[in-house]
Amino acid sequence: MPAATGTDYLEIEPLKLKAEHFPLPCSLQKRVMARYAGTASFGAAELFMQADELLGYLRKVDYDKYSPLEGILAQTEAIGDPALPGREQGAILSWLGAALKDWENHLCIEEPLAGELRRLKPLLAISAVTDPGFLTPGAHPLHKLLDTIQQNAIGWQPRLGRLGETHQEQVRKAVDAALAGFGTRGQKLAAINTEMAANIARARERTSRMTQRLIEAEQGRIRVAQSKRQAALMINAALDAFPAPESIGRVLKGPWYDSAQLVLLKFGENSAEWESMSRTTSDLLASLQDPVDDEGNARRQQIFEQVSRLPEELRRWLLSLQHDGGAVDEVLELVEHLHARILRQQSLELQRIAPLALPGSEAGKRPRNHSLDQIHEGQWIIMDTTNSPALRAFLVMRMEEDQQLLFANQAGIKVLQHSFAEFARLMANRTVTLLDGDECFSRSLARSAGLETEDDLDELTGVAAEKARIREEQRRQAELEQARRARERAEQERMEQERLRQEQEQLEKQRREEEEAERLRREQEQAEQARRARLQKERQQLIKEKAQALQLQEQWVEISRRYREQADLERTRAGTGQAREAGQTDAMNLNLPMGTWLGFRDGDEATLARLAVYDRERDHYIFVDCEGKKIQQLGGRELLIRITRGVVDILEARSGFRDEVARIQTQANS
């Protein structure tokens, strides 16, 4: 049987002592004396009860009416005995009385089993004043016996039948044996505890097997429900995407739906088999759609491919009909018939098929109830019922997806199953109460001595000071760590600011470079535009000069013709014997005598040259310097152009030539 792990939902204190804290590591003798020695009734030293007398009184106490000390005082008062328990004995008995009262208040065990445990009260009182080990909760054999029985009996009820009767008989025998073996109680109680622990272990093992079967059965049910839902979702998605003939709808919602569940159960939702079956479902419905006009040939080719492939896939996945070959053939014949109609371009009667109902579709929509977060597997509850005794059960399984809680009794048999919402409602109206499986007699002893929390235990054992030192060290370390992190954050912020500054500088530098590049680009564009304008102007000037030169050339030709005619006339008049005058006449087409000095300008500089040779056939003029070295050779046309431009000055010539040149320039400009 699983151990109970929860606490009462009205009193949740995570630092309370639990069953695993027992036995305590030390005696409570000092705490008991400090807490109870000042409140108990004690006798004077000469009136102390003898040990045998005290034990006799303890055996006669009516524990149903009195605490141990109250019972002794009632007896001594009735007979007039002035003797009283000693100071230490009185304090211990007062402590035991408070512990028994606390134990009764927390004893969540049904009768008659609780009555069997109460029979041990006289033995508890006698052991408390005779055995120093009793002052260490959880260490004494009686403590162990009561704790073991109580923690196992939290789920016991008479309604458990044979199992309940067996456990009740085991408890009765253990109590009888403990009472009977009072004289040798140490050895006897140890043997009783061993036997009782073995019996409980066997019972828990049996319960564990039963609950495991219950869990497996419930998990199987959940898997089936999930497979139904997942299969319905897959088929509904395909039906939503495609209309289908009514006959195909019946197949999909019948054997195909059943087969989809089997595939999910066998292979799982993430398997390649499930993916293949889902694809086959969509392909089947897609193959039954009417073709669009512009996809006729392609559509028929697709149908041909699917006709050869789909039957094999359909046969593979119809697992629900695998033992009924005739039913499988009927499905395949139906699909082949519909495909044949599609290939003959006959329209099918397609319609929207109603979707499958989704099982358990509302469970996942319900909001989470946080009041049940404290309910864990193994938690024992007691539920009040109207027509029968209260029911005890423990939580076997939390089904988060379905929001269901499954409970079993101590025999491992399912007795309750509630939704989260319904169980929360039962808790709210106090129909269901959570039982504290950590309650035990040792815990009542510790609680009655003021030891209720882990901090109390740490203080008792001296661990509290060590824990305080550790906490202080942790606090100091936390402060150092916090300071270190603050420095790291400051350094990171500084580095981030530095990075941002560098980024800003880089961006600013990049911006300046881009502006400079843009300025240079504009200057280059402007320079290029100026260059192009200058070239355009030079081309226009060149065209103009060429036109002027052409005009001058034409005029030159006319002047040359006139001078040649004049020269020929003069030669005719002068006679052929005058060679020198003829040579001069030949060299004077520009009316430029041989030996004429000219000034050639190059910027601010000028070079003097004299006409030395005139080649009439090539119309070339050769000029030399004062030493007779050749420095220029120009054609007549080029020389005339330079003269008209003012680049060449005639320094010495006949006046008629200058007049002729001026006349030619005047004609060129007009």
What are the CA-CA distances from residue 308 to residues 120, 247, 314 (Å)? 84, 21, 11
Confidence of residue 6 (pLDDT cuts 50, 70, 90): very low
Q: Is residue 84 part of a domain?
A: yes
Structure tokens at 631: 């420095």
Residue 230 has pLDDT above 60, yes or no: yes
Question: What tens digit of pLDDT does each residue of 378-409 get?
Answer: 999 999 987 788 999 999 999 988 889 999 99
412, 207 Cβ separation under 8 angstroms:
yes
Q: pLDDT of 96-143, one tens digit each? A: 999 999 999 999 999 999 999 999 999 999 999 999 999 999 999 999
Sign for the pseudo-dihedral over CA of 422, 426, 428, 432: negative
Q: 178 and 49 in one domain?
A: yes
Q: In this predicted structure, what is the pLDDT of residue 372?
A: 85
Token readout for 260 is 């989809």
Verify that 53 and 98 share a domain, yes or no: yes
DSSP code of residue 440? -
Residues 306 and 161 in one domain: no
Q: What is the pLDDT of residues 643-665, one digit of tens each?
A: 877 788 887 644 455 555 555 55
What's the structural domain count of the chain?
3
Instruction: Report the b/e string of 321-341 with b at 16+ CB within 10 A.
Output: beeeeeebeebbeebeebbee
**Domain annotation covers residue 522:** no
Last residue of one domain, picked from the residues 343, 361, 385: 343
Based on the domain organization, do 186 and 301 belong to the same domain?
no
Task: State pLDDT tens for residues 183-213.
Answer: 555 678 889 999 999 999 999 999 999 999 9
Q: Are 178 and 67 within one domain?
A: yes
Is the per-residue pLDDT at 576 higher than 50? no
pLDDT at residue 435 is higher than 60: yes
Q: What is the CATH number of the domain that holds 635?
A: 2.30.30.140
> Do 255 and 111 share a structural domain?
no
pLDDT digits (tens, 9 = 90+) for 602-638: 777 778 888 888 888 888 899 988 778 888 888 888 8
* Integer Cα distance of 639 and 635 in angstroms: 6
Taking CA 185 as the corner, what is the angle to CA 181 and CA 190, rounded to the nearest 5 degrees? 110
Let me know if residue 100 belongs to a domain: yes
Q: By CB neighbour count within 10 A (0-12 exposed, 13-18 middle, 19+ buried), where does 183 fall?
A: exposed
Place 585 in a pLDDT band, splitting at 50, 70 and 90: very low
Asked if 601 and 648 touch (Cβ cutoff 8 Å), the reply is: yes
Residue 448 predicted with pLDDT over 90: yes
Report if residue 166 sits inside a domain: yes
| Helical segments of 254-355, H only | 255-267, 272-287, 296-317, 325-343
pLDDT tier at 556, thresholds 50, 70, 90: low
Kindly state whether residues 192 and 106 are assigned to the same domain.
yes
Give the span between the Cα atoms of 485 and 514, in whole angstroms: 41
Q: Which residue has the tokens 């404290």?
A: 374
Question: Would you give the DSSP letter of residue 45?
Answer: G
- Return the pLDDT at 558: 72
Task: Evaluate if residue 361 carries a pLDDT over 80.
Answer: no
Same structural domain, 249 and 182: no
Average pLDDT over residues 498-517: 92
| Mean of the per-residue pLDDT values of the chain | 85
What's the chain's Rg over C-alpha atoms? 62
Q: Which of 18-22, 154-158, 254-258 has the lowest mean pLDDT?
A: 18-22
Separation CA 76–CA 62 (nearest Å):
14
Q: Which residue bears the tokens 């009909």?
A: 321
Residue where a domain stops, chosen among 343, 371, 399: 343
Same-domain check for residues 31 and 94 = yes
pLDDT of residue 295: 57
DSSP string covering 144-208, please? HHHHHHHHHGGG--GGGTHHHHHHHHHHHHHHHHHHHT-TTHHHHHHHHHHHHHHHHHHHHHHHH
| Helix, strand or coil, per DSSP, at residue 398 | strand
Given pLDDT bands bounded at 50, 70 and 90, which one contains residue 12? Answer: very low
- The predicted model gives 263-283 an average pLDDT of 94
pLDDT of 13 strictly over 70: no
Residue type, 70: E
In a domain, 534, yes or no: no
Q: Is 379 left (phi over 0), alpha (psi -120 to 50) or beta?
A: beta
Residue 145 lies in a domain: yes
- Give the domain extent around 160: 19-207
Percent of residues, the chain, with pLDDT higher than 90: 55
Tell which wins on pLDDT, 214 or 649. 214
Q: What is the pLDDT of residues 329-341, one digit of tens each?
A: 999 999 999 988 8
Length of the chain: 670
What residues contact residue 662 under an 8 Å CB cut-off, 6+ apart? none
Q: Give yes or no for residue 43 having a pLDDT over 80.
A: no
- pLDDT confidence of residue 397: 95
**pLDDT the model gives residue 213:** 95
* ∠ CA 395-397-400, rounded to 5°: 120
Q: Is 485 exposed, middle or buried (0-12, 13-18, 19+ CB in 10 A)?
A: exposed
* pLDDT above 50 for 578: no
Q: How confident is the model at residue 567 (pLDDT cuts 50, 70, 90)?
A: low
Q: Give the pLDDT of residue 582.
A: 42
Q: How confident is residue 2, by pLDDT bands cut at 50, 70 and 90?
A: very low
pLDDT of 245 over the 70 cut = yes
Segment among 180-194, 294-308, 540-554, 631-645 with least mean pLDDT:
294-308
Q: 405 has which bridge partners?
A: 398, 418
Q: Is residue 448 part of a domain?
A: no
Do 154 and 81 share a structural domain? Answer: yes
Q: Pick the closest to residue 556 from 664, 670, 666, 667 (CA basis).
A: 664
Looking at the domain assignment, is residue 101 inside a domain? yes
In this predicted structure, what is the pLDDT of residue 344? 84
Confidence of residue 16 (pLDDT cuts 50, 70, 90): confident
| Claim to verify: residue 203 and residue 263 sit in the same structural domain | no
Are 251 and 336 found together in one domain?
A: yes
Backbone angles phi, psi at 156, to 5 degrees: -75, 140
Question: pLDDT value at position 302?
Answer: 74
What pLDDT does residue 597 have?
85
pLDDT band at 583 (very low <50, low <70, confident <90, very high): very low
* pTM given for the model: 0.61
Which is it for the CA torsion 283, 289, 292, 296, positive or negative?
A: positive
Residue finishing a domain among 326, 343, 360: 343
Residue 5's pLDDT is what?
Answer: 43
Report the C-alpha gap between 483 and 384 in whole angstroms: 57
